[in-house]
Amino acid sequence: MTEKTYRTLGEEAADAPAPDAPVILSDEPGSFARRVLAKRHPALVQQVRDAFPYGRQQHEALDALLDEITDGVIEPLAITECDHERWAVSGQGYFGRSWYDVPFLWSESYFYRKLLGAVGYFGPGPWQGVDPFAPFKKAELGGEAVEEELHALEALANAPAVERSTALLHASLWGNRADLGFRFAAGEPEAGDSGVPALVADDSVLLWQLLPVEAGSVVAVVADNAGRELIPDLILIDHLLEQRHADRIVLYVKPYPYYVSDAMTADVVDCLRRLVEAPGEAGRIGGRLWKAMAAGRLEVHTHPFFCAPQPYGEMPEDLRGAFGTTALTILKGDLNYRRLVGDRSWDAAASFTDLTRYFPGAVAALRTLKSDVIVGLEEETLDTLERSGCAWRTSGTHALIQVRQ
pTM of the model: 0.93
- pLDDT of residue 400 exceeding 70, the answer is yes
- pLDDT of residue 12 exceeding 50, the answer is no
pLDDT digits (tens, 9 = 90+) for 242-280: 999 999 999 999 999 999 999 999 999 999 999 999 999
- Angle between helical axes of 280-295 and 144-152 (0-180°, round to 10): 90
pLDDT digits (tens, 9 = 90+) for 332-380: 999 999 999 999 999 999 999 999 999 999 999 999 999 999 999 999 9
Write down the mean pLDDT value for the chain. 91
Please indicate whether the domains covering 32-132 and 137-404 agree at the CATH topology level.
Answer: no
Cβ 369 vs Cβ 395: under 8 Å: yes
Annotation: CATH topology of 137-404: Rossmann fold (3.40.50)
- pLDDT of residue 185 exceeding 90, the answer is no
Residue 296 phi/psi, 5-degree rounding, is 85, 10
pLDDT cut 90: percent of the chain above it = 85
pLDDT attached to residue 49: 97
- Domain 32-132 falls under CATH 1.20.930: yes
For the chain, give every domain's residue range. Answer: 32-132, 137-404
Q: What is the mean pLDDT of residues 295-311?
A: 97
pLDDT cut 70: percent of the chain above it = 90
pLDDT digits (tens, 9 = 90+) for 210-241: 999 987 899 999 999 999 999 999 999 999 99
Beta strands in 295-397 (DSSP E): 298-302, 328-332, 363-368
Nearest partner of 184 among 149, 223, 208, 217, judged by Cα: 149
